[in-house]
Amino acid sequence: MAAAKSGTGSGQKDEPIIPVASTVKPKDDKVIEIAQFAVVTYNKQAGTDLVFINVEFGFWWSISGATYYMLAIKAQDDKGTYCDVALVADILESGDK
SS (H, E, C) the chain: CCCCCCCCCCCCCCCCCCCCCEECCCCCHHHHHHHHHHHHHHHHHHCCCCEEEEEEEEEEEEECCEEEEEEEEEEEECCEEEEEEEEEEEECCCCCC
Q: What is the pLDDT of residue 6?
A: 44
Q: Does residue 93 have a pLDDT over 70?
A: no
Question: What is the Cα–Cα distance from 38 to 29, expressed in whole angstroms?
Answer: 14
| pTM score | 0.77
pLDDT tens for each residue of 50-84: 999 999 999 999 988 899 999 999 999 999 999 99
